[in-house]
Structure 1
Amino acid sequence: MPHTRTDCREKSIYRAALWLIIAVYLAIGTLYAIETPAWQVPDEPAHYNYVKFIAEHGRLPELQPGDYPADYLEEIKARRFPSDMSIEPIRYEAHQPPLYYLTAAFVYRLVDLLPGGRHLLALRLLSLLYGVGALATGCLLIRRLLPHAPLLALGTVAFAATLPMHIAMSAAVNSDSLAIWLLSSIVLVVVSPGTRRWTLRRTAALGLLLGLAFLTKMQSYVGFGVALAALAWDTLWPGDDRTAPNGRLALGRAALMLGVALAVASPWLLRNIQTYGLDDPLAMARHDTVVEGQLTTREFLATSGPMMLAWSLAQTTFRSFWGQFGWMGVVLDERIYRALFLVSTIAGGGLLLRIARAVRDWRRDRELFSAEMRRGLALLTLWLALTALGYLWWNVKFVQHQGRYLFPALVPIGLAFTVGLREALTRSAQPVAVALAVGALALLALGLVTGDIRAFTTAMLAAASMAIVAGALLERRWTGSTLALYYGGMAGFALICLYLYIVPWLTP
């Protein structure tokens, strides 16, 4: 079917919007890479030393006792990494999978050939470029899954591109951006049209991606779970697709996929077995021994109790997802977190309303949502669930209440947030605005009775109610304009975080 002039115009607008989002991300990310004081991103010195060791010695480092100097680390952080204290002893990331560090070591060696030797900046910019790949792949993923909803694809990417904490981590020396890129690529392969055809080539390609993800970050288990779930779905619920695998073929394809992944990762695993022993191929036992002195969940429970643990987990996870900088020491103004919580609540409420409406529509018309869409959304939900479960599991052992560990699932999180926010600004604008106005009036009445008027929260609820009404009117005239304004505001907020919090609070 030939494309109409309107279709071509819409595609041009979509491409221009995507390039604009990526350009904004690159511009702000570059400022973060340049302006963030050296080593003032969690674990950056340890990641940097891993890269430096490979570049200078031509082999992988070995994680050894003493690589996590707890007292020294606390002192150097407290003194904001002064020039008279070396980062050399900080090497506790040496057990990590090597793919990112090998690519970064190549860049490190290239910088050696240039005058100035700004290795840290070059490595930060490398991570930022990996982030561009992750953004583009995430956008393509949602576009393939929801081809008639380009705004949702753009909103998903804009969420990640303007999230201050994500920008801070993307503009630092670590393997996060490459891991997110590979995970997004894996999910893209399994949700794209025609993926029910588990051909040998497609299965082997998926195994290759899984192997590369495994060689990048431990959280790659999420990719394995999503890929195997997709294969199981296509086997159990093939629908009308005659090319879907049967049980025997599915087992063969699973073996091929996992076999290719294992073959890709085997050199590193064999090296680890030789270095750390047959019973420790991932070096996790060595890691637990080396990081002695890191606060454990058991110790936290013994001193503070389960209620304080739950509160700390919820509060710190939320704050550090949006923005808690440095080594978790730079927190934003409490009023900012309240505003972010309100926006998150509005988006969450909008998402629930959209799901409820979708269920009602589906009950009336079972053909409304295609089998491919239901399958894809289920896999995205699994992606988020596995990431969240892994985060909780990690916190069973150590106190690691850091929202950035949820970033591998930024695509489903960004999609859910955008869907919810858009619902609150369109079809559900009236009930959302009324609920916010009622909340403001109720809080004001309570304050008048008790004598404790919470002026900021009351004003914030009232302003949000009016913003929803104004946004709904704007959406009727210019579709997508309110989302553009919101994410433009988030980009400005990211700059505020950089210049009002990160630079002044972390500069030695």
Structure 2
Amino acid sequence: MRESAGYRAALAAITLLVVTVAGCWAVLTPAFRAPDEPQHVNSVLRLAYGGDWPAPGEALMGPAMILARQEAALQSDIPGRHWIRIGLVPYTEVDPLPDDQRLRVTAQNALPWPGMSATAVDTVDQMTQHPPLYYAAAATWLHATGTADARWDQLLLSLRLFDLLLLAPLPLLAAATVRTMLGERPGARPAALVAAAGVLFVPMSAHILSAVTNDALVTLTGAVLTWLVARVLTGDLRWPTAAGLGVALGIGLLTKVMAAFAVPMVVLAYVLAGVAARPVLAELRRTWWPRAGRVLVVGVVAFAAGGWWWLRNLLVHGAVQPVGIPERWEPVPNEGIGHFTTTVVTAFTRSFFGDFGWLELRVPPAAFWGGAAIVAVLSVAALVRRDSRVHVTVLLLLPVALWASVVLNAWNHYVQTGWITAVQGRYLFAGLAALAVVTALGARPPARAVPWIVAGGGVVAAASLAFAFHGMYWGPRDSAADAAARLAGWSPLSPGQLVVAGVLALMAGGLAVGACVRFAVVSTSTRVVDTAAATASTAATTDGTGASV
């Protein structure tokens, strides 16, 4: 077996593992218990049933979603919630509605009825502050799969599976980016496999990207941009590559404003393309016009594909990103920059690694601070390496720009109202592939370490699923069987189907580790053979010359 074949098999197995883990999250997470999931589903239904795209703040929740939230007991507290609210019935004490009594979505209840008005904040669908591309694609999926008029729980699962399709290319793109940057160097394939497995070490990504959210599409476009930027950095100045960057950026811009923060990364990539080993200023003076031309193509294509939406917002609404939901709290005096800094850094870090449910179920501090420390150390290691310093600097622009934009937005709101809002780690997921690539370039593991790293990712994923299962379904006086029965009672799947989903994930984990072991064995053997052949060749050419004396 050749090393390349072993690599492809291992990459396919890791991708399968990532998808099956996310699939477990899709069936484990209680209905609508992910950030803004009811509103995301409502906007999909609006387009699926021929509705329009109202101005930000004017879209309403349809009757189907209002009733579905009630049937899903969304106004209850899961047992592991970080702060149990007084007066609410615990989720574990609500009896799941039998399947045949659950609401079915129809043309009569999907859209707001004539004369409906907002009676509370949760009756407003703020998603029309975003462009409609994700929602149109998801609506098309509902019609293609015949689930547009299904029961609400079946429709919800269908949309979650749609987001799994958007997640599936992420490991492949991360691996392709590493291979693009390292070429045929000895450590390229092991590093690529580690990058592919990187999302397993960020459990929140599987939780969020298996829920119904436009973050799924913007994360995919961020990964495509990362891969294409890597191609540019390694000297690919072809016009089709520039056009591809423009299309990917435009799709991202027609999904969410987060895509706009990839622009600095794209521009700097063309500035530094292929000049890492040559004098930068001299090379730029010689080739500035071709580089500028490519950047212009990226900009024109991106604007035509999706950037126009934000100019439209400015002309129609007077703001690039209009507010989609009314202010919910009365202004209060803020508590200073120290309180802001500690709160934002902690909340951002925690919700990047694990703040499950609707930011209800918090992982222990050691988990998210430890994860952040590992990412920081490996990023520094990648920056220190001379052969990756320039490329890593460019890739890190995306997550850094995203982080800075969220913090700045939160600071402005804090100064105006005294409240800290909209600080969520999922807003970094457009740069998730870039972070996976950077950490893999910092680690540069030998082939024999890859199975251990992938196994470690599998353990992190399994532990996170177990933690979420306990925190979401396991009441204080329950047994494991009680919690499992509660999951089955709420799920649109049968108990047998839930067991199959778990078994498939375990099998995918074993397959991934096994494929990586096989790759490590083949890779090590190949290196030994190559070294021996090189040694023999050297001995043959120097024999009799006195060079070996």
- Settle same-fold status: TM greater than 0.5: yes
Counterpart residue identity of residue 411, structure 1:
A
Aligned position for 1:320: 351
CA 1:132–1:92: 2 relative to 1, 3 Å: same
- Tell me the equivalent position of 2:433: 411
2:172 is the alignment partner of 1:141: no
How far has the Cα of 1:92 moved from its partner?
0.9
Aligned residue identity for 2:326: V
Greater alpha carbon shift after TM alignment, 486-495 vs 79-88:
79-88
Distance 1:271 1:341, change over 3 A: closer
Q: Highest relative contact order (Cα 8 Å, sep 6+), 1 or 2?
A: 2
1:85-484, aligned counterparts within 5 Å? Answer: 89-112=123-146, 116-117=150-151, 118-147=154-183, 148=185, 149-192=188-231, 196-234=235-273, 239=278, 246-265=287-306, 268=309, 272=313, 276-277=316-317, 279-280=318-319, 282=320, 284-287=321-324, 290-293=325-328, 299=332, 302-332=333-363, 334=364, 337-342=365-370, 344-345=372-373, 348-349=376-377, 352=380, 358=385, 369=387, 373-398=388-413, 399-418=421-440, 422=443, 478-484=448-454
- Residue 432 of structure 1: aligned partner: none
Task: Give 1 or 2 for the bigger CA radius of gyration.
Answer: 2
Q: How does 1:52-91 map to 2 (within 5 A)?
A: 52-57=45-50, 59-65=52-58, 77-79=74-76, 89-91=123-125
In the alignment, is the contact (CA less than 8 A) between 1:55 and 1:109 conserved in 2? yes
In the other structure, the counterpart of 2:469 is 499
Give the superposed CA RMSD. Answer: 3.8
- Give per-residue Cα distances to partners, 1:196-230, cap 9 Å, x unaligned: 35343332232222211111111111222211111
Aligned residue identity for 1:152: A
Distance 1:246 1:116, change over 3 A: same
Question: Relative to 1, partners in 2 of residues 1:61 and 1:410: Cα closer, same or farther, differing over 3 Å?
Answer: same
1:469 corresponds to which residue? none
Change (3 A) 1:66 1:268: closer
After superposition, the Cα gap between the structure-2 partners of 1:317 and 1:271, relative to the gap in structure 1 and judged at 3 Å, is closer
Distance 1:25 1:492 in 2: 11
User: CA 1:388–1:346 in structure 2 vs 1: closer, same or farther (change >3 Å)?
Assistant: closer
- What are structure 1's unaligned runs of at least 5 residues? 1-7, 363-368, 427-474
Could you tell me the TM-score, scaled by structure 1's length?
0.72
Unmatched segments (≥5 aa) in structure 2: 78-90, 104-108, 113-122, 414-420, 476-485, 491-549
Change (3 A) 1:339 1:375: closer
Please give the alpha-carbon distance, in whole angstroms, between the structure 1 residues aligned to 2:171 and 2:397: 20
Aligned letter for 2:467? C
Other-structure match for 2:15: 22
Assess if the C-alpha contact under 8 Å between 1:347 and 1:418 holds in 2.
Answer: no
**Cα distance change, pair 152–52 in 1 and its aligned pair in 2 (3 A):** same
CA 1:146–1:236 in structure 2 vs 1: closer, same or farther (change >3 Å)? closer
Measured after TM superposition, the shift of residue 190 of structure 1 is 2.4
Are residues 374 and 77 of structure 1, via their aligned partners in 2, closer, same or farther at CA, if it must alter by over 3 Å?
same
Give the Cα separation in 2 of the matches to 1:160 and 1:237: 29
